[in-house]
């Protein structure tokens, strides 16, 4: 019995199976890719909103911190000249929860609170992630928003704006200033809460991207290509000249490349949960 029939039949049959399975997988990848692009857009929009909120908060914190430090410098100069706290001349400057307006004379307690604010704002600035790629990677790995761990001030459980029920308005500057620390933490925690919600949703999205069975199919296809197509082709007793081995050397890598390309596309689809890029 001529073994060439066995090898050729095996190679043809296996190639047909690989082609059918590969075609099915490729069609699934195209359909899944279209659905993923649509859903992924919602997560990118969510990340952009968080980044915009962080940038806005950082800008406000930086501006108020610098102006607070400038006011404190002027106060120190007045105190050095012998002015008491009830005679201090304090220029207009904003707080996170108030716009600029005339500032009444502070009490000793007011001065103590004012001197604490720059440090609080500095801690907030240090906690804010500055780079989109780092934020996207932290989301993907389900890490907290703070890159160096939650600062001490985050231990405060502030569920709503401290001004919601206080009745404090712009006409009561110093009473409002005493709640600036809580207000700043509340603003930060609102953004952190949105971030945590997006991280949970993104993890679910990542799990739905590619079923684990797809990876098994890729392994099976690779095994079929090697054992059922390439190996039988090598055993065929065709014309033993350079043409046989030339065609074999050309076709074998292309067959493996076909399965490799499918594996690459599966990997790219899996990486769709990485929001550091707008496209996949």
Q: Residue 137 contacts by C-beta under 8 Å, 6 or more apart in sequence?
A: 274, 276
Whole-prediction pTM = 0.71
Per residue in 152-205, pLDDT (tens digit) is 555 667 777 777 766 666 567 777 787 887 888 888 888 888 988 999 999 889
For residues 155 and 214, membership in a common domain is answered with no
Based on the structure, what is the number of domains in the chain?
2
Q: Which of 208, 239, 263 is the last residue of a domain?
A: 208
For residues 191 and 266, membership in a common domain is answered with no
For residues 135 and 95, membership in a common domain is answered with yes
Find the radius of gyration of the CA atoms of the chain: 32
What CA–CA distances, in Å, run from 246 to 64, 161, 172, 241?
A: 74, 75, 88, 9
Per residue in 236-272, pLDDT (tens digit) is 776 666 666 777 777 778 888 888 888 888 888 888 8
Per residue in 99-115, pLDDT (tens digit) is 766 677 777 888 888 88
- Domain membership flag for residue 48: no
For residues 76 and 125, membership in a common domain is answered with yes
Q: Which of 273, 271, 269 is nearest to 205 (CA)?
A: 273
Q: In which domain, by residue range, is 188 found?
A: 54-208
């Amino acid at each position: 019995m001529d073994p060439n029939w066995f090898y050729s039949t095996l190679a043809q049959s296996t190639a047909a199976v690989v082609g059918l399975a590969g075609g099915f997988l490729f069609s699934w990848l195209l359909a899944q890719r279209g659905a993923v692009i649509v859903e992924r857009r919602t997560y990118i929009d969510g990340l952009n909103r968080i980044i915009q909120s962080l940038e806005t908060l950082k800008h406000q914190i930086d501006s108020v911190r610098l102006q607070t430090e400038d006011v404190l410098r002027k106060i120190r100069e007045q105190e050095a000249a012998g002015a008491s706290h009830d005679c201090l001349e304090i220029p207009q400057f904003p707080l996170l929860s108030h716009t600029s307006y005339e500032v009444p004379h502070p009490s000793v307690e007011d001065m103590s609170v004012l001197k604490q604010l720059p440090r609080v704002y500095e801690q907030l600035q240090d906690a804010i992630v500055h780079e989109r790629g780092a934020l996207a990677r932290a989301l993907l790995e389900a890490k907290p928003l703070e890159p160096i761990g939650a600062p001490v001030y985050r231990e405060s459980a502030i569920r709503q704006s401290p001004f919601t029920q206080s009745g404090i308005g712009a006409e009561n500057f110093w009473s409002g200033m005493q709640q600036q620390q809580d207000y700043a933490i509340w603003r930060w925690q609102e953004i952190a809460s949105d971030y945590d919600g997006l991280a949970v949703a993104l993890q679910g999205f990542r799990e739905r991207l590619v079923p684990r069975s797809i990876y098994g199919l890729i392994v099976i296809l690779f095994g079929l290509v090697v054992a059922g197509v390439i190996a039988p082709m090598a055993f065929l007793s065709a014309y033993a000249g350079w043409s046989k081995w030339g065609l074999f050397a050309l076709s074998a890598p292309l067959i493996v490349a076909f399965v490799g390309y499918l594996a690459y596309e599966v990997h790219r689809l899996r990486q769709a949960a990485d929001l550091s890029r707008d496209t996949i």
